[in-house]
Amino acid sequence: MREPNFANLLAVLARQEPERPTLFEFFMNDIVYNHFTQGETFDDTDGLGGFRKLVRAFRNAGYDHVTLGGSAFGFPSPPIPHARSISQSHPGVITDRHSFDAYPWPDPDRFDFSRLERLAPDLPEGMKIIVSGPCGVLENVVTLLGYETLCFMTAEDPELLDDICAAVGSRILRYYETCLAYPAVGAIIVNDDWGFAQQTLLSPDDMRRYIFPWHRRMVEAIHRAGRPAILHSCGNLREVWDDILDDMRFDGKHSFEDKIQPVEEAYEAYGARIAILGGFDLDFICRSTPDGIRQRVRAMMERTRGRGRFAIGTGNSVPDYVPMENYLAMIRCATGD
């Protein structure tokens, strides 16, 4: 167990070399959280016991941060039936101007963000919160419209789609602005999946019209508050990387897949312009052996030695089907356990 020091992650996000190998993860699962908090109990008299457990689990695993939502803010929609995956073709609740006007748009200012203050005493010295969003502009628009409706709307009613994206984007922007007022927040992760394995969900031009302007405003707000902005986005983004780097100006990128671009290649292609976070393909982490994982992680650590701008973690997250011994093999390369 090592002491957290968020300055290491800040160094990575500033494209520098941290003082020691640094871990980054968006989120794990209850098996991991339970493993790192065995025998511990957490005060839940204020309803924050689960968040205190997250703080302790991240800290005990060797992270310098804990990732959590700033409030319960989100966009209400009927639940979509699913098992281990979600169909994006499921119809949404907004189909036209009338349903847009009738939708109960939530007000971020009416939600309680006080957890970001009340959890501050539970953070070990040197540890910070990274706030994640209630998904991003594109993900919420897909949920509210359905992917098929969204695609038709780009051609049939682009003005309505402009208004829908503004209604979503402005509220997420306000959510992040509110979170940034809390000193315990060390960074923001803007989580919005933009693509499939082959391409972006919308054409690059449509992404630039409807989606990216709101992310640019979010990054600008995050930077004004003196914090770094991390993009978590799955999918093949080869045609919009320059937008990420030069227009929106994110400080770090998370989510990589070997079948799209292995993290080693992404590091060489983009690492001089943006921090590369995590990146070890989730399928690789699941199917490989602990020895195979250690070999790849150590090779990446050697590749980045003296260059920095890299943190160790998975390419996406740690779902409950990841073998525990494989996850531990990855993080122990950083912690030296």
Q: Mean pLDDT of all residues in the chain?
A: 96
pLDDT value, residue 62:
97
pLDDT value, residue 78:
79
Over range 108-133, report the average pLDDT: 98
pLDDT value, residue 239:
98
**Is 82 contained in some domain?**
no
What are 173's two structure tokens? 């922007």
Return the bridge partners of 130, or none.
Answer: 67, 187
pLDDT value, residue 280:
98
Q: Domain with 152 in it: what CATH number? A: 3.20.20.210
* CA–CA separation, 243 and 8 (whole Å): 27
**Is 226 contained in some domain?**
yes
Over range 45-51, report the average pLDDT: 97
Spacing of C-alpha 277 from chain mean position: 10
DSSP 3-state assignment of 25? Answer: coil
Spacing of C-alpha 193 from chain mean position: 9
Confidence of residue 285 (pLDDT cuts 50, 70, 90): very high
* Statement: residue 79 has pLDDT above 90: no
**Is 232 contained in some domain?**
yes
Q: For the segment 131-183, what is each residue's pLDDT rounded down to a tens digit?
A: 999 999 999 999 999 999 999 999 999 999 999 999 999 999 999 999 999 99
* Statement: residue 81 has pLDDT above 80: no
Q: How many domains does the chain have?
A: 1
**Is 130 contained in some domain?**
yes
Pairing verdict, β 65-69 and 128-132: parallel
CA distances from 286 to 223, 321, 327, 328 (A): 36, 8, 8, 12
Cβ-based burial of 85 (10 A; exposed 0-12, middle 13-18, buried ≥19): exposed
Pairing verdict, β 229-232 and 185-191: parallel
Tell me the residue range of the domain where 56 lies.
6-74+87-335
Tracing tokens 């966009």 back to the chain, one arrives at 75
Strands (E), 1-142: 65-69, 128-132
CB 212 within 8 A of CB 243: yes
**Is 1 contained in some domain?**
no
**Is 148 contained in some domain?**
yes
* Statement: residue 91 has pLDDT above 90: no
**In the chain, pLDDT over 70 holds for what percent of residues?**
96
**Is 136 contained in some domain?**
yes
H or E stretch at 189: strand 185-191
pLDDT value, residue 332:
96
Over range 180-202, report the average pLDDT: 97
* Statement: residue 64 has pLDDT above 90: yes
Q: Which amino acid is at 207?
A: M
Q: Give Cβ neighbours of residue 295 (< 8 Å, ≥ 6 apart).
A: none
Q: Which of 160, 62, 46, 194 is nearest to 112 (CA)?
A: 46
pLDDT value, residue 15:
97
Torsion of CA 164, 170, 176, 177, to 10 degrees: -170
* CA–CA separation, 63 and 243 (whole Å): 30
**Is 81 contained in some domain?**
no
* Statement: residue 86 has pLDDT above 60: no
Sheet holding 275-277, edge to edge: 65-69, 128-132, 185-191, 229-232, 252-254, 275-277, 310-311
pLDDT value, residue 83:
56
* Statement: residue 297 has pLDDT above 80: yes
